Structure 1
Amino acid sequence: MAKTKKLAFICYPGQETFIEPIVREYEKRPQYQVHRYYTDQQADVIAAVKWADILWLEWANQLTAVATQVYEIKSKSVIVRLHSYEALSSLPTRVNWKVVDYLVFVAPHIRDIVKMQIHDIEKQVCTKIIPNGLDIDNIPKNKVFNMYDIAYVCNLSLKKEPAMMLQIMAELVKFNPAFHLHSAGGWQDKGCEIYMKHMAKEMGIEENITYYGFVENMETFWPGKGILLSTSFHEGHPCNIMEGMARGLRPVIHNFIGAKGLYQEKYLFNTVVDAINMITEWSATTPDEKDYRKYVIDRGWTKKSMMASISKLIRLCGKKA
């Protein structure tokens, strides 16, 4: 009988949203012993490195930098997945890429951004592109679409450009007071919260925006919404947009760097005027919900496709371990 491989997943606590579905899948596989190390303690990281045959380091952050400096990691198989925010920081430069077997990016443009500061990253480590994937079978399409109800799904920070959302909403309400924006996500910046609520009042649109905060069960949030608005200036492979499209919402996406590689140009806007025109034109028609869901599936943005790619990498690592 083949020996089971020890597979450790290392991640900061509170940042395990993306990795937890993968961990649960591997817990079902008898050929692996799986341990979670959701920790911010260096001693736990060292213990994980010493215990495991294969290490999955989620996010190319300080925790990953610490792990790649542990002496024993040289004899281990190592995968690092870099999502988005790390690419805009110096964090990737602190990682010892010589001990990493595979660096996984969620989108090609994130690799390009990392290469701006680590020009030879593809010589230091083998890189792979594996997009995020939705559990599409458990994400139903909306039965009803109100094209005046706009979903805005993200934790609110300056990176998400929520001030642009206010400008868009102010003009939409002038066009038709029925427009209402529904924001699901917590505030990550107190100054941002104060400004947003102040400006909404000054613009006279505070009654047209509802802040739900963190939504525990998003199944209660999505029904009835017809449009998904994203104003972020930087994204990797955003799950909020994917899920909105899978549910049949029309996407209205700010043209962040890399967006054209992910979405059709008809879904993208450069200016506030562009976004307003898209939304007002679409508000008079029924969404092509099947097309949006099909787009997600055809691009391979499903959990099944993602797991197939991840499983291949871990199998390759298992042969080395």
Structure 2
Amino acid sequence: MKKVAVFGHDLKFISYITDYLTDSFDYQIKIDQWDGHDRHDETKSLELLEWADILFCEWGLGNVIWCQKHKKSNQRLIVRLHRFEMNTRFPALFDYKKIDQLIAISPYIYEEFHRVAKVPREKMKVIFNAVDTQRFAKDKVEDSKFNIGLIGYVPKLKRLDRAIDIFEKLYELDPRYKLYIKGKRPEEVDWVWKRASQREHYKDAFERIQQSKFKEHIFIEGWGDVSEWLKNVGYVLSVSDYESFHLAPIEGMASGAFPVVLQREGVRCVFQEKYIFENIEQAVTFISSKNNKDESELASYVEERFSLQKICEKMDELLRNA
């Protein structure tokens, strides 16, 4: 049985994978939960490092720098990359003699880390994010086709303003439309709330909502069970300036909600062309048109490409051969 220690500060994208690997494959997995990009309990980290066969870093941040420093010759170091890391100082400090494998969560991220951070292609492998499709297979509520969802609206690059733009235009067409927003509030994210440009973005957005005639049709709530929340949602927006993968609309597809994706770099690596739109007007037209939409294909698309079982089989192959 291989022993895997997972080091990282934000484990929401990896937790389903580690649980599945523990339950379905021959692994013992322990978690070293960090407090930030490079803040952790070093005593605990050293204990797990001594125990592990494989050191697995979720996100390529200070956890990688620490692990490559302390890694033993008989251990393997694997790093899973998203996108955020490219805007930090850490990739420039990677020691590729110590790092055995890097996982990019999409082909776009694979190429971007090579182009921007000079990560060697031969060290990288693409394994998509995983979706627990069974968790989202729940019946929709009546009239969910009039409910638009945005999952995660922090930081500013998630473009809450665009979500409001789309909803406002839909509301003018039909007042049955509602906008549901789910996620951490900006003041709950320390680095966001410290930046004036970020605070101003949310101040403007919230004031716009409060002063609008449709404010009673916008619902904002914190994190919780997204699979339950999606029962009420017929469309999930992906309107960010950039994303590495964007799990939220993929989870929406697994629930039977249509993705509505604005054009950005790398988006065609994940989403079908018919759900990608050049501008807000095209997105509104797609949502408001009730014709030629078959939600039955949505879950099967996710199952074939991103299901937890298939992604974990690929992860198992990588770990077994590490």
The two structures have a TM-score, normalised by structure 1, of: 0.87
Cα deviations by residue, 1:249-292 (Å, 9 ceiling, x for unpaired): 111111121111211221011212122222222xx348411111
Counterpart of 2:308? Answer: 303
Alpha-carbon distance, 1:312 to partner:
0.5
**Paired residues, what number?**
305
Q: Say if 1:225 and 1:249, in contact at 8 Å, map to a contact too.
A: yes
Counterpart of 1:157? Answer: 155
- 1:20 maps to 2:47: no
Cα deviations by residue, 1:176-221 (Å, 9 ceiling, x for unpaired): 222110011112345143221112234433222110122x222331
Residue identity matched to 2:113 = V
Unaligned runs of 5+ in 2: 35-39, 187-191, 194-198
**Aligned with 1:257: secondary structure?**
coil
Cα deviations by residue, 1:72-93 (Å, 9 ceiling, x for unpaired): 4443111111122113333322
Q: Using the alignment, how far apart are the partners of 1:223 and 1:116 within structure 2?
A: 40
Q: Say if 1:107 and 1:129, in contact at 8 Å, map to a contact too.
A: yes
Q: Say if 1:163 and 1:196, in contact at 8 Å, map to a contact too.
A: yes
Alpha-carbon distance, 1:29 to partner:
6.5
Q: Using the alignment, how far apart are the partners of 2:171 and 2:205 within structure 1?
A: 16
| 1:76-87 equivalences in 2 (<5 Å) | 76-87=75-86
**Aligned with 2:321: secondary structure?**
helix
Q: 2:300 aligns with which of 278, 294, 300?
A: 294
Q: Using the alignment, how far apart are the partners of 2:284 and 2:306 within structure 1?
A: 28
Counterpart of 1:230? Answer: 238
Distance 1:117 1:30, change over 3 A: closer
After TM superposition, the runs of 4+ consecutive aligned structure 1 residues lying more than 6 A away are: none
Counterpart of 1:180? Answer: 178
Give the percent of matched residue pairs that are identical in Structure 1 and Structure 2: 23
Q: Say if 1:226 and 1:287, in contact at 8 Å, map to a contact too.
A: no
Q: Using the alignment, how far apart are the partners of 2:126 and 2:100 within structure 1?
A: 14
Counterpart of 1:127? Answer: 124
Distance 1:213 1:29, change over 3 A: closer
Distance 1:172 1:56, change over 3 A: same
The two structures have a TM-score, normalised by structure 2, of: 0.87
Q: Say if 2:148 and 2:167, in contact at 8 Å, map to a contact too.
A: no
Q: Using the alignment, how far apart are the partners of 2:27 and 2:168 within structure 1?
A: 54
Q: Using the alignment, how far apart are the partners of 2:270 and 2:226 within structure 1?
A: 24
Q: Say if 2:16 and 2:132, in contact at 8 Å, map to a contact too.
A: no
Distance 1:203 1:116, change over 3 A: farther
- 1:207 maps to 2:205: no
Q: Using the alignment, how far apart are the partners of 1:151 and 1:159 within structure 2?
A: 17
Q: Say if 1:88 and 1:113, in contact at 8 Å, map to a contact too.
A: no
Residue identity matched to 1:199 = R
Q: Using the alignment, how far apart are the partners of 1:73 and 1:235 within structure 2?
A: 34
Q: Say if 1:87 and 1:110, in contact at 8 Å, map to a contact too.
A: no
Cα deviations by residue, 1:57-114 (Å, 9 ceiling, x for unpaired): 11101122222122x4443111111122113333322222221111001101112221
Residue identity matched to 1:312 = E
Unaligned runs of 5+ in 1: none
